[in-house]
Structure 1
Amino acid sequence: MLYSLIRKFFFALDAETAHGIGMSGIDFLGAAGFAGLLAKPVTPCPVEVMGLRFPNPVGLAAGLDKNGEHIDGLARLGFGFIEIGTITPRPQDGNPKPRLFRIPEAQGIINRMGFNNAGVDRLLENVRRAEFPKKGGILGINIGKNATTPIDKAAEDYLICLDKVYNDAGYVTVNISSPNTKNLRELQKDEALDDLLAQLKARQQQLADRHGKYVPLALKIAPDLDDTQIAAIADALRRHRFDAVIATNTTLSRAGVEGLPNGDEAGGLSGAPVFRQSTAVQKKLAAALAGELPIIGVGGIMGGEDAAEKIRAGASLVQFYSGFIYRGPELVAEVAATLAQVMARQ
């Protein structure tokens, strides 16, 4: 009830302005000890994935906290893990505003942010100030390439970021699936993907030796893939012994938002309209992987049953972002409670 009132206020504001105010509010309430006003107690449901032990399988997807400025405030809402980023080697402004659009009639969001972020060094300053990772909280760091880096040099940006974040990350996500950086999705294609994964995996081993610890690597893929592409990506992930795959990012499809206000804006569509498409891709990916590496299911989770469907379709963990905007922090507890029941029956 409280969040529904708060949401009316935020939805009267420009989406990006509301986002900034909302995140500051979460920080304030958490620091003041009032996180319980927004969030309910979360059902424990420990799971082990990627060699990491998660207190519950409910994660925050990348994009909400790009620079890692709000880690502790978000952690107090009960997430089992938090993913920050996408971060790039150098700071960049991203695409021109406005670039974030709500579609309330469909519980959707379109964004064309363009990896706006303060750069990897600033993110690391924020991570090292946060208490959550120091207390054993699992923090994923999502890495990408700068917009000005040519696509044939993209691997260099990913390696720079991996080098820098490795020792501070619980796991690292390689984002090659945002639709808002020119040509980025070309990296999902056979030869380009093979080359990128090979370089990242070799560097991961070097860093594991240097730091004396193994930090898992996950790949985040798009929902706009055909069956042949899904099979090829699964083969590449197995061949290069990646640790996990995140399925999926936002979609270029406009199915479910045709004719609605903001529905024809350019960018990636997330929220309820992407649920079926992302879950279908995840299910095919799970079949192709045959259990050889875990899947983190993301895309359109607006309630506990949506998350349960991701688990039944082969996911080991789930994440959401748009659902958090529409449902608020209560979604964390709802999803955790539902998944505790689902996983107990498995």
Structure 2
Amino acid sequence: MWGEGRESQQYIKQQEDITDSTSSNMKLLVVIALLGLSAAAAWPSYMSDEPDGVPTHQKQHDVNYAFYKIFEPLRDNRLADKATSFNPVGDISMYKDGGVAVRHLMDELTHGRLLEKKHWAVATNKRHLEEAIMLFEVFMQCKDWNCVASNGAYFRERVNEEEFIYAAYHAIKHSPLTQHVVLPAMYEVKPHHFTKTQVIEEAYEAKEMRLRNIIFQNNFTGTPNDIEHRVAYYREDVGVGTHHLMIHLENPFWWKDTYGYHIDRKERTSSMPITSSSTFGPPFPIRNDDIHLHDVDKIGRIHEIVHMEDRIHDAIAHGYVEDEQGNKINIENDHGIDILGDIIQSSMYSPNRKYYGNLTTLAYTLLDHQTDPQE
């Protein structure tokens, strides 16, 4: 009886251990399931597709390869095939505007009026910006991802690289077809805009020597003896520079409500990324210490900026701005900061672009040309 009792007790103990183990495993599975649901709730983009039904991972793949080694031919076979076989005006039913935007861009391209590849481009140049917006509008008029990817591959291989980046980044940021697509970091796509020439050269040397896990020192360009060095962080830090770009990416000054929705714009103070090296040609020249701003031929004059600032100061002091018809618009309310932002950066929402001008863009452009104002 004792033997049977001990065997029974051992059997019961084994069953209890099995039950406890099963219970623990079930609890673990429940915890894992809850964590999975929490992750899905926190990052819905990984669990859902875009409005047109194309998986997010496919769009992310296409975007990553479109910007990968942007100054070289496409590395993805599927996109490369689209670049050679796709006809942007072959089927205009894929566009919401019936092909108006793409026909305009193709006309500019076929007649050689667009900036060529391997040339420096900048958004403060009126013509460069116009060309980039042409491509942006083509992307925004696409009804589905196949249209976006096909046009992206086609024009990536034919238009200026800088203009393509500008247009594609803005389209991906604002298109309803790319709600969950993550843009590649700009400092990885265009590192020469965020680092010194010395660092770029060292990186090329390391690549030629097949060196790996190399750390490059990207110190600020100034010296403690230079008074501007006190604000070097705001001018040259990669993170701050990226933040500056994202602000303008989310709030393009040329945005029109016809692109799909209204943007609540507020001008923010931020830095410009350093551009000490150029992808094409020699490094960008630097401004010497204690340099005084000069007028720039065919670009603008210093007194224009002074007048713009005075008019904005007057508007703030009086509590209103004037539109093109001379009507007073009150800015001492919750929307006043939006109106001031539209004026300072002269967006399409500015109530009076002729009078208040384009302070931010003109100032950037004049600074860009200070090394040689006569060019």
TM-score using structure 2 length: 0.26
Q: Which has the larger radius of gyration?
A: 2
TM-score using structure 1 length: 0.28
Task: Compare relative contact order (CA 8 Å, sep 6+) and give the higher one, 1 or 2.
Answer: 1
Larger fraction in strand? 1
